[in-house]
Amino acid sequence: MTRPASHILAVAALAVAIPGGVLAWSDQPVKPDAEHPQVPVGYEEDGQYFTEDGIPTYQIDDDGTVDWLTFSGFRRYHAECHVCHGPDGEGSTYAPKIKNSAVNMDYYDFYDVVVNGRQNGNSVMPHFGDNPNVMCYLNDIYVYLKARGMDAVPRGRPPQKDAKSDTIAEMENACMG
């Protein structure tokens, strides 16, 4: 169960070529009805949900119960990211609406920006690659934001959640050290 750690290493080692106009990710509107290959659940593994391609994704029940990672992501996002990116991923005058970015950006590009940071003139996204409070929970933050971008969860704290699986707890302990 080394999935998050291996993702971190793999992504940190990549020098991802950022395509021109990358700042538009957050500006592109999300149409929840359109096809989003990085959204539908392909399989579940010990309380974590993945697309067919193994990209972490969210799972929301009809009664609004969210999977553990989505709930955890809500908390972690509001601890580490919302001061700049605004509550619920809605963006601010200072930093982009990353609930849209989580849908529009490739997962690995999203990871790369958080690990390495990004600067565009005075607009600075800090790097978090050495911050375990972010890196150990980046899948959580990512799936939460993707659920927000797709309007799968409303703004605010998700009222009902799945329990944290033993596997998720073990991975968290291993990552936090």
Binding residues for ligand HEC, rule: CB under 6 A, are: 22-23, 25-26, 80-81, 83-85, 94-96, 98, 101, 110, 113-114, 118, 120, 123-126, 128, 134, 141
Rank residues 29 and 63 by Cβ distance to ligand HEC and give the closer one: 29
Count, residues in the chain = 177
Three-state SS for 11?
Answer: helix
Helices (runs of H) and strands (runs of E) counted in the chain: 8, 5
Rank residues 41 and 95 by Cβ distance to ligand HEC and give the closer one: 95
Residue 15 beta carbon to ligand HEC: minimum distance, rounded to whole angstroms: 17
Residue 23 beta carbon to ligand HEC: minimum distance, rounded to whole angstroms: 6
Q: How many CB atoms lie within 10 A of CB 20?
A: 6
Residue 147 beta carbon to ligand HEC: minimum distance, rounded to whole angstroms: 14
Could you give the CA distance from residue 108 to residue 124 in angstroms, rounded to a whole number?
Answer: 19
Could you give the CA distance from residue 52 to residue 142 in angstroms, rounded to a whole number?
Answer: 17
Residue 29 beta carbon to ligand HEC: minimum distance, rounded to whole angstroms: 13
Rank residues 14 and 65 by Cβ distance to ligand HEC and give the closer one: 14
Which positions ≥6 away from 120 have C-beta within 8 Å? 23
